[in-house]
Amino acid sequence: MCIRLITPISRPTVICSFPRIMALRQSSDMSKFKEVLKSAKEIVILSGAGISAESGIPTFRGAGGFWRKFQASALATPGAFKTSPSLVWEFYHYRREVASKAEPNAGHKAIAKYEAKYGKIKKITVITQNVDGLHGRAGSKNLIELHGNLFKTRCTKCNEVVTNLNNPICEALAGRGAPDENVAGSDIPEQALPHCRRHSCRALLRPHIVWFGENLDYEVLQRAEAAISTCDLCLVVGTSSIVYPAAMFAPQAADRGAIVAEFNIEPTPATPNFHFYFQGPCGTTLPVALSD
């Protein structure tokens, strides 16, 4: 399935009368949520850009979603990389630098702490749409990164995926990538960009990110769908619920009877389908929700 954006609609496409009734009755009752959490055996935590924004990671969405003069989403495509790999690498070098300087916030830490405490007696899966690696740095172990990771590369020829924490990832990118609107393009020659270290390959590397117009990795998607299909509790954390296929995960869980609790700054199109809704920063609500 391809990543795509949709225009928010007034009613979610998946409707379940049971979750809708429950949402009206106990939408922000923390004590009742904690009762559900205590009894839950399989928990999925689905996170999006909102939790990372609290750590200073740009969302690159909406009116402010620009890097230099470019719409960020226009650079996150196979076509952009084919046309100007140096420009795309400058963009991702900037994103890597921002992410490497950011720290996991109280929301990330609360999730990791809960997993560390209860992971042996409950099945706890963190599914994130974020690519900044903050969940992993916070300590989450059973982690599914749907859209890849800024600190991994993939060879355009042999497809080898490698973790790379070097900063800069290559010397040619040192001091590059600043979001300066006066810089129109990139003059870095392709041969100076990151290349595969395999002696039999040496092909150009790309960020290990699922770009717009690309399919999610099949095995990654299968793992996520398997977790969603058996969970009895799903936490929706800082996600706008407009990027598919992840936008369907929580509604699907609610539709089959799982309890869904949303933690967001503001309601989303899917909020009416969920049992609980807790408004506010994830770094404020999650530590309370996941504490004993």
| Active-site entry in 93, 108, 135, 147 | 147
Q: What is the mean pLDDT of the chain?
A: 90
Of the CA atoms within 13 Å of residue 132, those in its CB half-sphere come to 29
How wide is the angle at C-alpha 135 spanned by C-alphas 130 and 292, nearest 5°? 125
Beta bridge partners, 63, equal: none
Instruction: Give the torsion sign (CA, 260, 261, 265, 267).
Output: positive
Global pTM? 0.89
DSSP-assigned letter for residue 51: H
pLDDT at 144 over 80: yes
Is 63 annotated in some ligand binding site? yes
Q: Looking at residue 272, what DSSP letter applies?
A: G
Residue range 21-52, pLDDT digits in tens: 344 444 799 999 999 999 999 999 999 999 99
- Name residue 259's beta-bridge partners: 233
CB of 243 within 8 A of CB of 179? no
Query: 196 to each of 84, 107, 187, how far by Cα in Å?
Result: 18, 36, 21
Summarize pLDDT for 147-205 with one digit per residue, the tens: 999 999 999 999 999 999 999 999 999 999 999 988 989 999 999 999 999 999 999 99
Mean pLDDT along residues 64-72: 87
DSSP code, position 290: T
**CA–CA dist 170, 255 (Å, integer):** 47
Confirm whether residue 53 is marked as ligand binding: yes
Residue 54 and residue 215: Cα distance in Å, rounded? 28
Angle between helices 282-289 and 106-118 (to 10 degrees): 20
Domain 1-57+104-147+218-292 has CATH 3.40.50.1220: yes
Q: Annotated catalytic, 135?
A: no
Domain with CATH 3.30.1600.10 in the chain: 58-101+170-209
* 60 in a labelled binding site: yes
β partners of residue 161: 154
Share of the chain above pLDDT 90, in %: 80
In the chain, CATH 3.40.50.1220 covers: 1-57+104-147+218-292
CATH topology of domain 58-101+170-209: SIR2/SIRT2 'Small Domain' (3.30.1600)
Cβ neighbours of 26 (radius 10 Å): 16
Confirm whether residue 158 is marked as ligand binding: yes
Whether residue 146 is predicted with pLDDT greater than 60 in this model: the reply is yes
Distance (Å, whole) CA 14 – CA 252: 7
Residues 6+ apart with CB under 8 A from 214: 2, 3, 78
What does 64-114 look like in DSSP terms, one character per residue? G-EETTEEHHHHSSHHHHHH-HHHHHHHHHHHHHHHHH----HHHHHHHHH
Instruction: In whole angstroms, give the CA distance from residue 34 to residue 72.
Output: 39
Number of H helices, E strands in the chain: 11, 13
